[in-house]
Homo-oligomer: A and B are copies of this chain.
Amino acid sequence: MNIPRSSFPRIVIIGGGFAGIALAKKLRNKNVQVVLLDKHNYHTFQPLLYQVATGGLEAGSIAYPIRKVVQDYDNFYFRLAQVKEIDTDAKKVTADIGDLYYDYLVIATGSKTNYFGNKEIEKNSMAMKTIPQSLNIRSLILENFEQALLTNDINERLSLMNFVIVGGGPTGVELAGALAEMKKAILPKDYPDLDVRKMEINLIQGTDKILDAMSPKASRKAEDFLSGLGVSIWKNVRVTNYDGKTVTTNSDLTFESATVIWTAGVKGAAIKGLKPEALAGNERIKVDEFNQVLGYENIFAIGDIAVMEGDKHPMGHPMMAQPALQQGTLLAQNIIKKIQKQKMKPFVYNDKGSMATIGRNKAVVDLPRWHFNGVFAWFVWMFVHLFSLIGFKNKAVVFMNWVYNYIRFDREGRLIIRPYKKKSAQSFTPDEI
């Protein structure tokens, strides 16, 4: 990869998500050489992907060039690379652009959509973990409506206007809410010759409540909000298949839908080459309280991919931005300590709470000791997300878009820049898009 050796130890970070970027920032101008690898040349602010998918924000507003983050850092290298495997004996990373030797390796590859082995669902449904995927959803929604106008077959039309979201976690809930807002404020104006009241939004959840990682209060309130917006919520229902036309479930319930968005599960974005003992379920990686991968002295894992053993959460910390940021930040200190042969500091998760927005003036917020919802929660949600975006310009543009969308009940990003139906289905394999 054409990276010169320096006299300092080399830390290779795989992944420029919340964890990887937090770590990189804190390693700035320390006595180490850092190489950051990512398959995109930008950091993605994943919590707002659903707004890109529904035309509320442009892709560029939630993406930030990684090279810009690390511009002024000494002895710091970024490479656009897809890592294929690691060789822990040779201390080597193999990527599509060549090999790279490390002294310390940090795996921060995050998570990807989990279809639980169902290839047909994987092939026919839409995922929403990356910006290209969100843009595909945006195109597909709009292409569906254009097509609904053309057909004389009532069943086809209903199927084109039936959106099934599988998974009632924050992603599914926020997307369902945004679609409901589009149904209410935008689509009837854009498609006056279509009966948009016939549009259906079905949210399917496998357990007995949506947002089930949040408080019972938040969950109930989110359900009320969604129902009020016309979203049909199906609880204790598991999707068993989707052949591109019909969604079948573990009950008698079926849905005829041209669009299934799958937010029902994530798994670790694994990399080949670790010993089986280091692997947790769900393709994640077992780490100790220092985020050190079990059985390795010089390999760490942070963020979604890491399952911390001995933690009070049996499945590790929640696969969200906060644990990733906190682990990345602490690991920077700990790697430096380790190099200096000092004692590392164990990770303690500071749970700042969680939140989800459902629509205009509607959000739920769980703080450690306090739950609230409604307009104030919605403002808190906006403030927190705005504040968390990297870069002044992105903050300003997102703020302006939100103000505009709020005042005008509008979303102007309803643009089919790259049609999905016509081309992407054949051209891209799921992992690449």
Residues of B near A409 (CB, < 8 A) are none
Judge whether A135 is part of the interface by a CB distance below 8 angstroms.
Answer: yes
Q: Are A41 and B415 in contact (CB under 8 A)?
A: yes
User: Quick one: closest B residue to A64, CB to CB?
Assistant: B412
Judge whether A401 is part of the interface by a CB distance below 8 angstroms.
Answer: yes
A2-B41 contact in complex given A71-B189, A80-B416, C-beta closer than 8 Å? no
Among A394, A397, A412, A422, residue most surrounded by chain B Cβ atoms (within 10 Å): A412
Residue of B59, B64, B65, B415 near A42 (CB, 8 A) is B415
Among A193, A410, A415, A432, residue most surrounded by chain B Cβ atoms (within 10 Å): A415
Q: Are B2 and A417 in contact (CB under 8 A)?
A: no
By DSSP majority rule, is chain A's interface helix, strand, loop, or mixed? mixed
Residues of B near A77 (CB, < 8 A) are 193
Residues of B near A79 (CB, < 8 A) are 146, 149-150
Q: Complex: how many Å from CA A296 to CA B132?
A: 46
Q: Complex: how many Å from CA A67 to CA B146?
A: 11
Residues of B near A396 (CB, < 8 A) are 400, 404
In the complex, chain A residues 65-111 whose Cβ is within 8 Å of any chain B Cβ: 65, 67-68, 71-72, 77, 79-80, 97-98
Interface size class of A (residues with CB under 8 A): 35 or more
Judge whether A158 is part of the interface by a CB distance below 8 angstroms.
Answer: no
User: Quick one: closest B residue to A63, CB to CB?
Assistant: B415
Q: How far is the CB of A274 from chain B (nearest CB, A)?
A: 26
User: Quick one: closest B residue to A98, CB to CB?
Assistant: B150
A401-B412 contact in complex given A67-B190, A417-B132, C-beta closer than 8 Å? no
Q: Are A190 and B71 in contact (CB under 8 A)?
A: yes
Residues of B near A61 (CB, < 8 A) are 58
Judge whether A26 is part of the interface by a CB distance below 8 angstroms.
Answer: no
Q: Are B412 and A68 in contact (CB under 8 A)?
A: yes
Q: Are A416 and B1 in contact (CB under 8 A)?
A: no
A404-B417 contact in complex given A58-B58, A412-B64, A423-B428, C-beta closer than 8 Å? no
Q: Complex: how many Å from CA A29 to CA B333?
A: 67
In the complex, chain A residues 158-216 whose Cβ is within 8 Å of any chain B Cβ: 189-193
Q: Mark A399-433, 1 if CB is under 8 A from B, else 0.
A: 01100100000101111111000110011100010
Residues of B near A150 (CB, < 8 A) are 1-2, 79, 97-98
Supplied contacts A72-B189, A423-B427, 20 more A-B pairs, CB within 8 Å: A1-B150, A2-B150, A41-B146, A41-B414, A41-B415, A41-B416, A42-B416, A58-B61, A60-B415, A63-B415, A65-B415, A68-B190, A79-B149, A131-B417, A132-B417, A391-B412, A394-B412, A396-B404, A397-B400, A397-B401
Which residues does A use to contact B, with CB under 8 Å?
1-3, 40-42, 58-61, 63-65, 67-68, 71-72, 77, 79-80, 97-98, 131-132, 135, 142-143, 146, 149-152, 189-193, 391-394, 396-397, 400-401, 404, 410, 412-418, 422-423, 426-428, 432
Would you list 11 pairs from A and B whose C-beta atoms are within 8 A, ordered by A residue?
A: A2-B151, A41-B415, A41-B416, A58-B59, A58-B60, A59-B417, A80-B416, A135-B417, A392-B404, A393-B401, A422-B432
